[in-house]
Chains A and B, each alone.
Chain A
């Protein structure tokens, strides 16, 4: 455990000694701020109109501001996760520092978990930016906080899955660009997979729907935890980490 944390802390601090953390956080703050402001403006506009027409359905901050702005986050993740994960192993493979880790008294899983956790911590900082934005709402109105927490949990789980997959893809190469491009490609594919289900209703269509990464977040963003979504993200994370371990082992055979 201590070893895993040591590696995680190193990864996390490297993000901040390099420009990566600042760039990723700045992009995220900007785009989330945009979504949030736009959602809020829409909400205020709409509620003005609603005031004038009695009998209109009641307005809800959760539904009109929080849900869409967090829902849109998965697109942003598509771009930011590869930036976070591409260097994890590719950089070590290139500079040869992987030799230090693999000849130290560590288990492979400690190395992988540590790196994944380090990336996840940076991702946690991104979520913190979102929380700071959203907390403004609590000053002026009374959103329900339970669905908000569930949505954040869903976002965290989705990020964990994406980062696990990115970690795996980073073990495959010594070139960061290759790792980043692969990660982006795979995440994009998982993102668009459910588009098929709109016209393809066979088993394949349903399978694609299930495998796609974003539909599983929809229920979370509404504040609903569904077992199948939970299972999807947890098993996706486990798969990514397992493949990383396998890949790290094969690195030793190939090297």
Chain B
């Protein structure tokens, strides 16, 4: 449905997207994941025909975006990062306008408008001015706008950014409900969003694709690494040192502390006996072991691992300079995203 082949986009000396290729099959929901400034928006703009690529080709539903733009564009529903709304228009007038420029036959327009208003639960604001709507409604009208011509392909650029937790859940549910009838590519820098909505993840960083796989495979790919959570009663520093002595242990981090008890997150190589050995270390040292359970590698870990590997590999190169600030952003947003995920 979506095919990107060797697409590169340069803005003057900076390369926003560097020779990326990927495909999205019919009916898939694919998450496009990466820190801010990774090239997600640029890639989406190339796919929607808003920007031409410097090199490479993109096609949607079999139509090349550059050479058959009208055919390609009429099969795409696109929600840019900020919904493209005209503040002085009413919801209904706006949707009528969009329906018309998307070539919906005139007599079908009212029906389509009713359908998308219902789908995005915005029927109650149909006569309001777009400029007077709350952020959540604006986002949903943005979605309605993308859906109105029932396109085969939906492209959403950060569909949940700036929404409150309840709205985030609603928008995610809406996106999930679109699965099957549409092929969806959505970008985000919020990790739980991918876990909760997407079947496949494409991780992009500094304009390059770092990984493209299903969530399960991605988790499995980082084979060898897993984590244990230990609840230990004892002097934290000593416990830590003792645990670190084990060869299979990669790192030990304190999660929380309550009185004498400390929760420790221990990253270990995959090893059948490591849990047994760690338990023995704690017990033999005379400390109390209140609990031990294994933690899977979370998406966040994968993301950080993949993108930070890249950072290290890049070393002293120019673009790395801007990375410091970028690197901080996903972590903060993650917190916000997880909040939204708590139900």
Chain A contacts to B: CB under 8 angstroms: 2-3, 6-7, 10, 13-14, 17-18, 95-107, 252-253, 255
Contact flag A107-B70 (CB < 8 Å), given A3-B101, A10-B97, A18-B88: yes
Interface pair A17/B84, CB less than 8 Å apart: no
Q: Does B335 contact A (CB under 8 A)?
A: no
A205–chain B nearest beta-carbon distance, Å: 43
* Interface residue count on the B side (C-beta < 8 Å): 30
Kindly supply a per-residue 1/0 record for chain B positions 68-89, scoring 1 wherever the CB is within 8 Å of any chain A CB and 0 otherwise. 0111011010101110111111
B256–chain A nearest beta-carbon distance, Å: 43
Contact flag A252-B50 (CB < 8 Å), given A14-B89, A96-B80, A99-B80: yes
Best-buried of A3, A96, A97, A104 by chain B (most CB within 10 Å): A104
In whole angstroms, how far apart are the Cα atoms of A102 and B50 in the complex? 6
Interface pair B145/A100, CB less than 8 Å apart: yes
B74 contact set on A, CB distance < 8 A? 105
19 contacts between A and B (CB under 8 A): A7-B101, A10-B86, A10-B89, A10-B97, A14-B88, A14-B89, A95-B87, A97-B84, A99-B50, A100-B98, A103-B49, A103-B78, A104-B73, A104-B98, A105-B73, A105-B101, A105-B102, A105-B103, A255-B50
Kindly supply a per-residue 1/0 record for chain B positions 41-77, scoring 1 wherever the CB is within 8 Å of any chain A CB and 0 otherwise. 0000100111110000000000000000111011010
In whole angstroms, how far apart are the Cα atoms of A92 and B69 in the complex? 21
B48 contact set on A, CB distance < 8 A? 103
Nearest residue (CB) in B for A6 is B100
A7 contact set on B, CB distance < 8 A? 101
Interface pair B76/A103, CB less than 8 Å apart: yes
In whole angstroms, how far apart are the Cα atoms of A73 and B174 in the complex? 55
Q: How many A-B residue pairs have CB under 8 A?
A: 73
Interface residues of B in 274-297 (CB under 8 A from A): none
Interface pair B50/A104, CB less than 8 Å apart: no
In whole angstroms, how far apart are the Cα atoms of A4 and B198 in the complex? 38
Interface pair A252/B51, CB less than 8 Å apart: yes
Best-buried of B71, B81, B82, B84 by chain A (most CB within 10 Å): B84
A107 contact set on B, CB distance < 8 A? 70
A106 contact set on B, CB distance < 8 A? 70, 73, 101
Chain B contacts to A: CB under 8 angstroms: 45, 48-52, 69-71, 73-74, 76, 78, 80-82, 84-89, 93, 97-98, 100-103, 145
In whole angstroms, how far apart are the Cα atoms of A18 and B87 in the complex? 10
Indicate which residue in B71, B84, B100 contacts A96 across the interface (CB closer than 8 Å): B84
Interface pair A253/B82, CB less than 8 Å apart: no
In whole angstroms, how far apart are the Cα atoms of A14 and B87 in the complex? 10
In whole angstroms, how far apart are the Cα atoms of A64 and B78 in the complex? 59
In whole angstroms, how far apart are the Cα atoms of A103 and B65 in the complex? 10
In whole angstroms, how far apart are the Cα atoms of A14 and B90 in the complex? 11
Nearest residue (CB) in A for B76 is A103
In whole angstroms, how far apart are the Cα atoms of A10 and B103 in the complex? 16
B80 contact set on A, CB distance < 8 A? 96, 99-100, 103
Best-buried of B50, B52, B103 by chain A (most CB within 10 Å): B50
A6 contact set on B, CB distance < 8 A? 97, 100-101
B142–chain A nearest beta-carbon distance, Å: 10
B87 contact set on A, CB distance < 8 A? 95
A255 contact set on B, CB distance < 8 A? 45, 50-51
A103 contact set on B, CB distance < 8 A? 48-50, 73, 76, 78, 80
Interface pair B101/A97, CB less than 8 Å apart: no
Indicate which residue in B50, B81, B86, B100 contacts A97 across the interface (CB closer than 8 Å): B86
B82 contact set on A, CB distance < 8 A? 96
Nearest residue (CB) in A for B85 is A97
A106–chain B nearest beta-carbon distance, Å: 6
Interface pair A253/B52, CB less than 8 Å apart: yes
A3–chain B nearest beta-carbon distance, Å: 6
B284–chain A nearest beta-carbon distance, Å: 64
B88 contact set on A, CB distance < 8 A? 14, 17-18
A13 contact set on B, CB distance < 8 A? 93
Contact flag A100-B84 (CB < 8 Å), given A252-B50, A252-B51, A255-B51: yes
In whole angstroms, how far apart are the Cα atoms of A107 and B73 in the complex? 11
B70 contact set on A, CB distance < 8 A? 105-107
B159–chain A nearest beta-carbon distance, Å: 15
In whole angstroms, how far apart are the Cα atoms of A96 and B76 in the complex? 18
Nearest residue (CB) in A for B87 is A95
Interface pair B100/A2, CB less than 8 Å apart: yes
In whole angstroms, how far apart are the Cα atoms of A6 and B69 in the complex? 20
B71 contact set on A, CB distance < 8 A? 105
Nearest residue (CB) in A for B99 is A6
In whole angstroms, how far apart are the Cα atoms of A103 and B86 in the complex? 16
A96 contact set on B, CB distance < 8 A? 80-82, 84
Known: A17-B89, A95-B85. 18 other contacts (CB 8 A): A6-B101, A7-B101, A10-B86, A13-B93, A95-B87, A97-B85, A99-B84, A100-B84, A103-B49, A103-B73, A103-B80, A105-B69, A105-B71, A105-B102, A106-B73, A107-B70, A253-B51, A255-B51
